[in-house]
Structure 1
Amino acid sequence: MRNPFSKTYEPEEIKMFDFLQGIKFFERLRMKELANFLPAMHVRKYVRDEVVFFSKDPSQALYLLKKGQVNLTIDVRDNFETILEVNRGEAFGENSLLENAKRTYTAIITSDEAELIVIPHFAIQEIFDSNPKIKAKMMTSLAEYYNTNNQRLFRSYRESFGFFSLRQMFE
Structure 2
Amino acid sequence: MKNPFRKTYSASEQALFDFLGKINLFKRLTPDEMSEFTPFMHLRDYVQNEAVFFRNDPSAALYLIKDGFVNLNIDIDDRLEQLTVIRESEAFGDNSLLKDSRRIYNAIVGSEEATMYVIPHVNIREIFNDEPKIRGKMMEALAMQYNHYTENLFRGYKNSFGFFNLGTAYELEN
Give the structure-1-normalised TM-score: 0.98
**Alpha-carbon offset, residue 124 of structure 1:** 0.3
Partner of 2:151: 151
Measured in 1, the distance between the counterparts of 2:100 and 2:161 equals 35
Is 2:71 the partner of 1:51? no
Q: Deviations over 1:142-168 (max 9, x none)?
A: 000000000000100100122111122
Partner of 2:25: 25
Q: Deviations over 1:12-62 (max 9, x none)?
A: 000000000110000100000000001011100000000000000000000
Q: In the alignment, residue 169 of structure 1 is paired with which amino acid?
A: A
**Alpha-carbon offset, residue 78 of structure 1:** 1.6
Please provide the CA RMSD for this pair.
0.7
Partner of 1:140: 140
Q: Deviations over 1:118-140 (max 9, x none)?
A: 00000000000000000000000
Q: Deviations over 1:60-115 (max 9, x none)?
A: 00000000010110112221111010000000000000000000000000000000
Partner of 2:3: 3
Q: In the alignment, residue 96 of structure 2 is paired with which amino acid?
A: S
Counterpart of 2:118 in 1: which secondary structure? strand
Is 2:111 the partner of 1:111? yes
Is 2:93 the partner of 1:126? no
Give the structure-2-normalised TM-score: 0.97
Counterpart of 1:36 in 2: which secondary structure? coil
Query: 74-83 or 146-155, which moves further after superposition?
Result: 74-83
Q: Percent identity of the aligned residues?
A: 51
Q: In the alignment, residue 15 of structure 2 is paired with which amino acid?
A: K
Is 2:105 the partner of 1:98? no
Is 2:78 the partner of 1:78? yes
Counterpart of 2:100 in 1: which secondary structure? coil
What is the total number of aligned residue pairs between the two structures?
Answer: 171
**Alpha-carbon offset, residue 170 of structure 1:** 3.3
Partner of 2:62: 62
Q: In the alignment, residue 124 of structure 1 is paired with which amino acid?
A: I
